[in-house]
Structure 1
Amino acid sequence: MTAPAWNRRRAAAGRAWREFATNRAGLIGLVVLTLILLLAALAPLITDQTGLDVTRATGKRLEPPSGTYWLGTDENGRSVLLLTLWGARVSLLVGLSATLLSIAIGTVIGILAAHFGGWTAAILMRFTDFFLVLPSLVLAIALSTVLERGIGTIVLAIGLTSWPSAARLVRAQTLTVEARPYIERSRALGGGHLHVIGKHVLPGVLPLVFVNTTLAVGTAIVAESTLSFLGLGDSTAVSWGAMLRSASATGAVTAGAWWYLVPPGLAIAGVVLAFTLCGRALESVLNPRLRER
C-alpha cells in the first residue's frame, strides 16, 4: 500500500476516534471493557491460581465478605473474588471466539449470496432461513449435549447457531455496495470475482461487520453463561455461568449468601452492557445517518 493511502487511512481513523470520543456512553463502555480485559489477562500475575483448587481452600464455607476475603467464599471455602477474576478469562474467551466464528460464517455466506445471486443465493438464503427460524439456544444445547464437554464445544455450539442474522445483514450491505458505479467499472475493466470481493466489497462491508461483532459478543457471553448454568460447559473450568450454577446447586440462595451470586451476575451484566455501549457508539460513528440524527 502506498504512503498516500496509509495517510488517508490514518486520517480516517483519527476522525473516527474523535467522533467516538464525543460519545460519553461509548467511552464509559470502552473504559469498563479495558479494565475487565486487563484484569482477566493479568489474573495469573496478580493472583495465586492454586486458590482455585478445592483441596487447598483455606476459608470457611460460604463465609461473608471480610478483610481476608473481600467478596466472601464459595461452598468450598474458595475466594469468590478469585473465582470471578478467573471466570472472566473463560467467559470472555468463549464469548469472543464464538462471536468471531459466527461473524466469519455469516460474512462469507452473506457476501457469496449477494455477489453471485441466482441459485447460489437461493440455496444459501434458504439454508440461512432454516437456522434463523430455529431457536439458537435450543440448537446450542443440543450440540453441547451431543459433543464432548469442553470450552471448544461451547464455542462451536454458539458460533454455529448464531450466524444467520449476521449473514442477512452482510448480504443487505453487499447488495448496496455492489450497486455502486465503481463496482461496474471494475468488472468492465476485467476484474474477477476475487478482485471485486476482496478489493471493493469486503472493505465496504467491514465497518458493518465490525459493529455487529462488538454487539454480538455480549449475546455470546450470555449464551455461554446460560449453557454453563445448565451444566453443559466444561466442569473443570471456572466461568461466571458455572459460578451461578454452583451457587444455585449448593444452596447459596436459601442460605442468603448473596456475595456468591452478585459478583458473577454483575460481571455478566457489566460486560454485556459495556460491549453494547461500545457497539452503539461505533454504529453512530460508522453510519453517517445515525450521526446526523
Structure 2
Amino acid sequence: MTTDLVRATPRRLAWQRRRRSAVRFWKQYRTHRAGLVGLAALVLFALVALTAPLTVGSDVTGVTDAPGNPLEAPSTEFPLGTDRFGRDLLGLVVWGSRVSLLVGLLAAVLSVAIGAVVGITAGHFKGAYATVLMRITDWFLVMPTLVLAIALATVMSRSLGTVILAIGVTSWPTTARLVRAQTLAVESRPYIERAKALGGGHWHVMTRHVLPNVMPLVLAQTTLMISSSVLAEATLAFLGLGDPTVISWGGLLQDAREAGAVSAGDWWYLVPPGIAIAVVALTFTLCGRAVESVLNPRLGVAR
C-alpha cells in the first residue's frame, strides 16, 4: 500500500501542476477579447462541421437528384441560392467546412511536426548536421511556398492526401527557424549541462528537457499555421488541384469560376464560400495571436 502511494505521488503532482497551468493559461487567455471572439467562432465552425451529416446530410452533394434549378438566386427555399447543378449552396457550404477544416488541421500538424523535428535536432546537434539542415531550410524559405505546393500537387494524384502533403512539406521552414532558436536558448541553460553530466543522452535531452520547453511555441505556431493551411487548400482547390470527388470551399469557388458566375453576376455562388474561408482564417489567426501572447508575455509588453 505504501509503495503504491509513493509511486502515485509523482503522477498526482504532475497532474496537479498541469491542471494549475491550464487554469492559469485560461485566466490569461480570457483577458484577450479578440482571442475569445476567435475561440467562440472556432467552436461554432467546429460544431457546424461535426453536425453536418445530421443537419444537411451527405445527399446534399449529389447532382442527379438536385432539389432546385441551376443557378437560382437566394430565396426562402434556398437561402444562399443554388449552384450550377441545382444543389443547395447553404448545404454545400456547411458540408464543405468538414473538408476545409480537416485539411487545414492535418496540413498544419504535418508542417509544424516537420519544422519541430528539424529545429530541435539542428539546435541540439549543431555542427555540419545543423549547417546542412539550415541551408535546406533557407532554400525552402526563399522559394514561394504556393508555387512549390502547386508543383507538388500537379505531379501527384488529385486527392486530399496529396493536398495535405503538398501544404505540409512546403510550409515548415518558418517553424524550423523559430524552434531552432528556442532550442539554442534552452540548451544554454545550466540544467542541460547537469543532465548531460549525469549521463543523459541525446534522446533524453531532446525529449525530456528541450521538447517541453518548445511546446508552447509549437502550439502557438500550429494555431497560426491552420489559418495559412486553410487558405492554401482553398487556393489549390480553386486552381483545380484538389480532390474533385469531395466538396470544399475552394472547390465551390472553382465550380463557380467554371460556371461563369463572375461574368454572369451570380454573386451568391462566390460570396458564401469566400466569406467562410476569410472568417475561418481570421478566427484561427485571432486564437493564435492570443495563445502566442499568453505563452510569451513579452509580446504583450512589446505591443
How is 1:179-194 mapped onto 2 (pairs within 5 angstroms)? 179-194=188-203
Gaps of 5+ in 1: none
Alignment correspondent of 1:59: 68
1:88 alignment partner, one of 89, 92, 97: 97
Alignment correspondent of 1:5: 14
1:287 alignment partner, one of 284, 296, 301: 296
CA distance in 2, matches of 1:4, 1:48: 46
How is 1:51-200 mapped onto 2 (pairs within 5 angstroms)? 51-200=60-209
Alignment correspondent of 2:245: 236
* RMSD across aligned positions (CA): 1.0
Alignment correspondent of 1:44: 53
CA distance in 1, matches of 2:57, 2:65: 11
CA distance in 2, matches of 1:81, 1:214: 27
CA distance in 2, matches of 1:48, 1:2: 45
May I ask how many residue pairs the two structures share in their alignment?
A: 293
Q: Which amino acid aligns with 1:105?
A: I
1:249 alignment partner, one of 251, 258, 261: 258
Cα 1:291–1:4 change in 2 (3 A) is: farther
CA distance in 2, matches of 1:163, 1:43: 31
Deviation at 1:128, TM superposition (A): 1.1
Taking only the aligned residue pairs, the percentage that are identical comes to: 60
1:181-220: CA deviation from partner (whole Å, max 9, x where unpaired):
1111111111111111111100000000000000011111
How is 1:26-41 mapped onto 2 (pairs within 5 angstroms)? 26-41=35-50
Deviation at 1:51, TM superposition (A): 2.1
- TM-score scaled by structure 1? 0.98
CA distance in 2, matches of 1:91, 1:234: 11
Structure 1 runs, 4 residues or longer, greater than 3 Å off: none
3-state SS in 1 of match to 2:273: helix
CA distance in 1, matches of 2:66, 2:18: 53
Q: Which amino acid aligns with 2:259?
A: T
1:74-112: CA deviation from partner (whole Å, max 9, x where unpaired):
111001111101111111111111111111111001000
